Structure 1
Amino acid sequence: MNTSTSRTGLTVSADVLAGAAATAARFAPSILNTQPWRWRVHPDQLELFAEPRRHLRVTDPDGRLLILSCGTVLHHACLTLAAQGWAAQVIRTPSMSATAPLAVLHGFEPATVAPVTRQQEQAMRTRHTDRRPVSDQPIAPPVLRAITACAPGAVRLQILTAEQVLELAAAVSRADAMRGQDPLARGELNYWTSRPVTEGIGLPPQVLPDRPAQTTVAGRGFGHAGTLPTGPGHDRSATYALLYGHSDDPTGWLQAGETLSAIWLAATAMNVSVLPLSDVVAVPGTREALRRMLKPFDHPYLALRLGIADPMPGAPPRTPRLPAAHLVEALPPNVSCREERR
């Protein structure tokens, strides 16, 4: 068994690193469940790469949603290691290159497992995306403050006012209309939302609403109905927010994904449903409309709907996942990082 020795003399095995990568890939959310990442496991470090073969080149030409998705799996991996008593140093070098890692986890040191870490790790295993309207129960202010507090750094969360929610609704509708007029975008969306469960990727009909809900802010238009019963809700008690930061580049997008993961897991632990609204940010014109809701020099990364999930008729099924063998590569101990990249 290959190991990495810490300054304390304790070691983390390559099997633990591979297990953390596989666990993260199994549970992390991604745009249309494309799972656009891959991990490379060395005896002493863990490398995260973007996977261009699962890049939505029409919907997400800049790769902002791809890298944001990779940010979620990076946070999930760090959390998985932390839940096993290991703290990792993270070097972030995000780019769209298929040969250079987005991030490298190394310098593993034993660490005490905090109760909040165990809570988040459990939330990681139960978190799911529910595209149906939320219940009429509003989020309690202390809960909303706790969720917002999960984004205290370079990436932050702004709760929208009632007037801004109407502006968001208009922008979402415009983005959906623009996507609907683009045959290439429609084709790409149909490809990723017509996948059988057995393929382990994309969105099967079972997780898509059977009809559009009558809500102020429309959900994503998939171009076809799913089989998930929508229910009678109208999202009247939903809270909407913008995830934002100062930089509109791969570094900011990766950090946004990490922060989204932290927010989503905290919300899940407090029984709050989170639904990302990505098209409105991927379309340049509507992204600019969201930017006007923020302070000068800030950039929106994602719009979010927060709410208490409707308990009836129960949670939707989880999205399928690719086998770990498709996402995690373990290198033999005699292959160095430098030699492997030649």
Structure 2
Amino acid sequence: MSGIPQQAPLSAGDVLYEAARVACLAPSIEDSQPWLWRIRGTTLELRADRSRQLTSADPQGRLMTISCGAVLHHATVVLAVLGAAATVERIDDPADPDLLAVLTLTGPHEVTAEEMRLHHALRTRCTDRRPFRGIAALPDEVLALLHRAAEPFAVNMHAVAPSQVDFPGFAASSAAAPQAASWMIPRMPPAREGVPTRAAVPKVTRTGPLHEQGRGEDRYTTYLAFTTAHDTRADWLRTGEAISAVLLTATTVGLASSVMSDPVEPLGGAPAGHGQLTIRLGVNESAPAAPSTPRRPRDEVIDVVPTS
């Protein structure tokens, strides 16, 4: 219609920058946000930021790489809702170990309703470390939905109830409070990153073999243990992608969630494969919304390389 200004289409650089910016809402271990983006023409490189690696808890960089996998999946969701088709190449180059993946724009993409739902979840999801207060077990159809979300990444997902978990086998406080004190920050300006103290909660009593059945403040939690057939950097990256897909899908059906840096040990033996990470899911309808955590400044994580 004449007289109505038409918005200019976004350039490839603008699309990639927006994808990188919004993807940084992804969860990461202890909110370390250990990623860097580099835009080169029609490509978006994902690199690990080793200055953010929790070296004492994560000397091999496994948790760092899993966190980067989550931000990679987030970027693909954003690109999709921007109407941009892209390929994802996962990189394992000993000569450049910090380069993890390259996304390349390939043309237009028709946005689906499911992609819109995931994008809304991406924008609204917050890590919730508090004990959950809702249903004791997730319905089978919800678990099936979450399994389908993880399947494309060749990562196995196994649901575990609190009563089936050997909690003395790992740090039970990992679901309730950040492990690395260096990432705790006071909630006052100019803090822009780390886990704010208002997002941490006291250690909770877990339901496990040493507790009476049905007791424990976290008895309404379902734990999802993620395992892989091998234990390579590619497996770690795909685990992060799968966890992102599952967390966003869980958010679309109203579930609260948080990530635990330890794999759980189910009674009777762990799922086959290498345990990578665990997430906890539940319903927290009676509690106020979980507080969000700050994000790193965009000029610190996004680098645009000029093209000739």
- Tell me the TM-score normalised to structure 1 length: 0.77
Q: Which is richer in helix?
A: 1
Contact 2:162–2:219 (8 Å) recurs in 1: no
SS of equivalent to 2:145: helix
Contact 1:290–1:300 (8 Å) recurs in 2: no
Contact 2:258–2:281 (8 Å) recurs in 1: yes
Distance 1:30 1:291 in 2: 30
Distance 2:49 2:182 in 1: 18
SS of equivalent to 2:270: coil
> Structure 1 residue 214 and structure 2 residue 189: aligned?
no
Q: 1:163: how far off?
A: 5.7
The answer for unaligned runs of 5 or more in structure 2 is 1-8, 209-214
2:141 partner amino acid? P
> Structure 1 residue 235 and structure 2 residue 235: aligned?
no
Contact 1:207–1:316 (8 Å) recurs in 2: yes
Which residue, out of 291, 308, 318, partners 2:283?
A: 308
> Structure 1 residue 264 and structure 2 residue 241: aligned?
no
CA distance 1:146–1:311, shift in 2 (3 Å): same
> Partner residue of 2:58?
60
Q: 1:22: how far off?
A: 0.9
SS of equivalent to 1:244: strand
> Structure 1 residue 324 and structure 2 residue 298: aligned?
yes
Q: 1:233: how far off?
A: 7.7
The answer for unaligned runs of 5 or more in structure 1 is 1-9, 177-184, 218-231, 335-342
Measured against aligned partners, the alpha-carbon deviations of 1:265-316 in whole angstroms (never above 9, x if no partner) come to 00001011122211x34xxxx88x8994122xx111112211112422x112
Distance 1:192 1:291 in 2: 35
Q: How does 1:267-286 map to 2 (within 5 A)?
A: 267-278=250-261, 280-281=262-263
Q: How does 1:67-216 map to 2 (within 5 A)?
A: 67-94=65-92, 100-138=98-136, 139-153=138-152, 154-160=154-160, 164-165=164-165, 167=166, 169-173=167-171, 189-196=180-187, 198-209=190-201, 211-216=202-207
- Aligned pairs, how many? 288
> Partner residue of 1:15?
14
> Partner residue of 1:294?
271
1:157 partner amino acid? M
Measured against aligned partners, the alpha-carbon deviations of 1:155-190 in whole angstroms (never above 9, x if no partner) come to 02111256632x2x12124897xxxxxxxx98xx22
Distance 2:92 2:186 in 1: 29
Contact 1:135–1:307 (8 Å) recurs in 2: yes
Q: 1:88: how far off?
A: 0.8
Question: Once superposed, what is the RMSD of the aligned Cα atoms?
Answer: 2.7
SS of equivalent to 1:304: strand
Q: 1:12: how far off?
A: 4.9
> Partner residue of 1:180?
none
1:318 partner amino acid? S
Contact 1:39–1:327 (8 Å) recurs in 2: yes
Q: 1:152: how far off?
A: 1.6
- Tell me the TM-score normalised to structure 2 length: 0.85
SS of equivalent to 1:14: helix
1:192 partner amino acid? W
Q: 1:213: how far off?
A: 1.9
Distance 2:245 2:91 in 1: 20
Measured against aligned partners, the alpha-carbon deviations of 1:110-146 in whole angstroms (never above 9, x if no partner) come to 1110100000000000001111000132322222221
2:280 partner amino acid? R
SS of equivalent to 1:319: coil
Residue identity (%)? 33
SS of equivalent to 1:59: coil
